[in-house]
Amino acid sequence: MKNITARLRPGIKPRKPYGLLAYLRDHYLLYLMLVPGLFFLIVYKFLPLYGITIAFKDYSIFAGSNPIDAIAKSPWVGLKHFDRLFSSSQFVKVLLNTLIINGYKILFLFPIPIICAIMLNEIRNVAYRKLAQTAIYVPYFFSWVIVFGIFYSLLGTYGIVNSALAALGYERISFFSDTNVFRGLLVFTEGWKEVGWNTVIYLAAITAIDPTLYEAARVDGAGKLRQIWNITLPGLAPTIVLMLILKVGYILETGFEQILVFYNATVYDVADVIQTYVYRMGLGQADFSLGTALGLFNSVVAFILIVGANTVCKKLLNRSIW
Amino acid sequence: MQLRKRKNVNEISLSTSEKVISAISYIFMGLLTLCAILPILHVVSKSFSSAAAVTSGSVLFWPVKPQFETMQYVLEETPFLNAMKNSLIVTGVGTVISMLVTIGTAYPLSKPDFKGRKFFIMAYIVSMVFFGGIVPAYMVVRTLKIIDTYIALILPFFIVHFNMFVVKNYFEGLPESVEESARIDGASDMRILVSIVCPMSKPVLATVSMLYAVNYWNNYFHAMMYTTSTKMQTLQVFIYNTINNTQTLVERLVIGNYTNVSIDGIIAAVVVLSLIPIVALYPFVQRFMVHGITIGSVKG
């Protein structure tokens, strides 16, 4: 590269042979800058990878001078904890719950923002459009605890919804402890928090579509529906595919904090997912080895899904997640 | 004349479907807007309504028999302000640290001829796609003896890989010529980063710092896992505990003889007070986050 530059621009003198040491001397600051981040990687990302061996040991937190040291001092037990995990009915339950809850979320919530973005784009009144566009994604910035607080206010025993039901002569519904409605509550609150934000993402993609396409279609006599079907949707297709791939790729990761905040012992049967179970067993009940084993299972499947999603992304859209 | 005529023909052929779609859009987006805003309005109304009105369920979207005792109770009798202080410290300090680390990591990795670039990027990708798990991470934090400190609350988001890659990709997209000419003038790497690259990347840096701030502010799980004392609890942990320990609240209300304060009112007040910083920052959030969407989608 440097030789080519030198040849093309004879005025610039070719540099002296430039070795690694010289490079390091000139740019040591660049390496110094990397140190804090790398320190974090080693401590909080790679050291826990060593901690995975807890899954293959009878781990006792007090076996060593500190919890990490204790890992080395605990005895190996092979796949004992995995046998325990895979033969328990809980494992099947939390796996199914994870798939069912996230499946519902994708099924019911994925199409809504696409439709909303198309509708929002049809609104010609600038003030109205701006108001809607600003208001709908306010909830996206609320924490799950705040969303929980708001919905507790709305759906609690003496909340506005139950007061209305009671006034109309219906029975009050305990939304937070009824196993029949709890998954619906999870899907609905997820929608409340995320639909507006996703709408804005799709809207950004719609505004990037070349407006001359619509003009041409109009001249050809295409109606509104036809324009949406033949121009807007194809224009949105890459974004839709990307979002769907990401959703599927991160299916094991999402929803954890929401469920952790919303659920309680009465709805464990329908709401306990892999991550909440890892947390409750692994830290809550101090069954560290089982928690780590299930966490490892989760990480391996998540890894396959995410790398798979990225491969599909690269193939279909020529774009990488990272 | 001819032009107008053609326009008319178009209008006639389109009018019905166009009008219907337009009407549906106006109505539906109106409903969606209400759906986002009314619950917030309801909570605000509840926090300023009398205890009797709150418990009877007669508060809708405007305070009934307005009072400030609930707010006063939350501010004076609960650890709310302390929790708010913790959250502000973690968010403020955390965001600044995370931004410095993110920029410091993204800049070297954005240089195509940086020696070892591939290796470092690989390290980030590997640790991004493979997670050691909750239990091992907790053991590390315990080993470091930082449980119940601010450090434990900042550590999990010290550098968020996705944010780092967004900044790195943005740096890569900057025109090289400016940097080149500064280098010929003898500017050092640090100098170039601080006085050329960063000012040119203001929009993406604003967006990413917003993402970090939201992460820190909203995090409940790590705050719950890594803190044990009331003194160290963050706002999210405090709110969660308030909603889930209503029994102790009832007792305290009875003992303190707060007749015009109700449990549901307190929960509403706590939620409303914690929303103030988000609402105050919303204009900035809106400006930079919406811009950030396009940055996120352009990255390749």
| Domain parsing of chain A, residue ranges | 25-78, 84-317
Three-state DSSP class for residue A76: strand
A-chain residues near B60 (CB < 8 A): 160
Per-residue pLDDT, B297: 44
What percent of chain A has pLDDT above 90? 55
Per-residue pLDDT, A42: 94
Mean pLDDT, rounded, for A229-255: 87
| Whether B6 and B102 share a structural domain | no
Per-residue pLDDT, B285: 74
Alpha-carbon separation of residue A304 from A277, B125, B258 (angstroms): 21, 14, 56
Question: What b/e string do you get for A111-148 counting C-beta neighbours within 10 Å, with b at 16 or more?
Answer: eebbebbbbbbbbeeeebbebbbbbbbbbbbbbbbbbb
Question: Can you read off the two tokens belonging to residue B96?
Answer: 């600044």
| Whether B18 and B114 share a structural domain | no
| Whether B8 and B116 share a structural domain | no
Is A130 a residue whose pLDDT tops 70?
A: yes
Per-residue pLDDT, A15: 56
Query: Taking the alpha carbons of A67, A69, A70, A72 in that order, is the dihedral positive or negative?
Result: positive
> Model confidence over A166-203: pLDDT tens digits?
889 999 999 999 999 999 999 999 999 999 999 988 99
| Whether B28 and B73 share a structural domain | no
| Whether B165 and B82 share a structural domain | yes
**Hey, which residues does A57 pair with through a beta bridge?**
A76
* Dist. CA B147–CA B223, nearest whole Å: 10
Closest listed residue to residue B22, CA positions, set A119, A215, A257: A119
Interface contact A156-B264, CB threshold 8 A = yes
**Is B59 a member of any domain?**
no
Neighbours of B237 (CB within 10 A): 22
Report B:137-156 residues touching A (Cβ under 8 A): 137-140, 142-145, 155-156
A-chain residues near B217 (CB < 8 A): 143
Is B224 a residue whose pLDDT tops 60?
A: yes
Mean pLDDT, rounded, for B256-272: 88
Q: Which CATH architecture has domain A84-317?
A: Orthogonal Bundle (1.10)
Out of A132-146, B95-109, B278-292, least confident range: B278-292
| Structural domains of chain B, count | 2
Is B226 a residue whose pLDDT tops 90?
A: yes
Query: If you count them, how many residues does chain A have?
Result: 322
**Hey, which residues does A76 pair with through a beta bridge?**
A57
Mean pLDDT, rounded, for A24-48: 92
Query: Does the beta carbon of B11 lie under 8 angstroms from any beta carbon of chain A?
Result: no
| Whether B194 and B273 share a structural domain | yes
Candidates A34, A67, A319; nearest CB to B139 = A67
| Whether B181 and B243 share a structural domain | yes
**Is B109 a member of any domain?**
yes
> Model confidence over B59-115: pLDDT tens digits?
889 988 888 989 999 998 899 999 999 999 999 999 999 999 999 999 999 998 898
In chain B, which residue ranges form alpha helices assigned H by DSSP? 2-47, 51-56, 69-77, 80-110, 117-129, 134-143, 150-154, 161-173, 176-184, 189-192, 198-200, 202-218, 221-226, 235-244, 246-256, 263-298
> In what helix (H) or strand (E) does residue A274 lie, and over which residues does it extend?
helix A274-279
The answer to whether A87 and A172 are in contact (CB under 8 A) is no
Is A13 a residue whose pLDDT tops 90?
A: no
Query: Distance between the two ends of chain A, CA-based, in angstroms?
Result: 27
Report A:52-71 residues touching B (Cβ under 8 A): 52, 54, 61, 66-69, 71
**Is B44 a member of any domain?**
no
Dihedral pair phi/psi, residue A60, rounded to 5°: -120, 125
* Dist. CA B60–CA B44, nearest whole Å: 10
Interface contact A149-B33, CB threshold 8 A = no
Query: Does the beta carbon of A119 lie under 8 angstroms from any beta carbon of chain B?
Result: yes
Out of A21-25, A106-110, B198-202, least confident range: A21-25
**Residue-averaged pLDDT of chain A:** 88
Which structural domain range is residue B251 located in?
A: 69-298
| Whether B4 and B152 share a structural domain | no
Per-residue pLDDT, B18: 79
The answer to whether A118 and A96 are in contact (CB under 8 A) is no
Confidence band for A238, pLDDT divided at 50, 70 and 90: confident
| Whether B271 and B157 share a structural domain | yes
Nearest CA in chain B to A167: B57
| Whether B25 and B76 share a structural domain | no
Alpha-carbon separation of residue A281 from A146, A258, A277, B181, B224 (angstroms): 26, 18, 6, 59, 16
Out of A18-27, A112-121, B100-109, least confident range: A18-27
> Model confidence over B8-37: pLDDT tens digits?
444 445 567 778 888 999 999 999 999 999
Query: Does the beta carbon of B245 lie under 8 angstroms from any beta carbon of chain A?
Result: no
Interface contact B133-A291, CB threshold 8 A = yes
Question: What b/e string do you get for B34-65 counting C-beta neighbours within 10 Å, with b at 16 or more?
Answer: ebbbebbebbbbbbbbbbebbbebebbeebbe
Interface contact B140-A43, CB threshold 8 A = yes
Interface contact B218-A163, CB threshold 8 A = no
Is B294 a residue whose pLDDT tops 70?
A: no
Query: Does the beta carbon of B131 lie under 8 angstroms from any beta carbon of chain A?
Result: yes
Interface contact B42-A20, CB threshold 8 A = no
Question: What b/e string do you get for A222-238 counting C-beta neighbours within 10 Å, with b at 16 or more?
Answer: bbbeebbeebbeeebee
Three-state DSSP class for residue A91: helix
Is A73 a residue whose pLDDT tops 80?
A: yes
Which CATH number does the domain housing residue B152 bear?
Answer: 1.10.3720.10
Is A309 a residue whose pLDDT tops 90?
A: no
Candidates B22, B40, B139; nearest CB to A150 = B40
Per-residue pLDDT, B238: 95
**Residue-averaged pLDDT of chain B:** 87
| Whether B98 and B216 share a structural domain | yes
Out of A283-287, B54-58, B140-144, least confident range: B54-58
Query: Does the beta carbon of A143 lie under 8 angstroms from any beta carbon of chain B?
Result: yes
Query: Residue A170: which residues within 8 A CB-CB, separation 6 or more?
Result: none
A-chain residues near B188 (CB < 8 A): 29
Q: Is the predicted ipTM greater than 0.85, yes or no?
A: yes
The residue among B295 and A298 whose pLDDT is bigger is A298
**Is B46 a member of any domain?**
no
> Model confidence over B169-211: pLDDT tens digits?
889 888 888 888 888 888 888 889 998 899 999 888 988 998 8
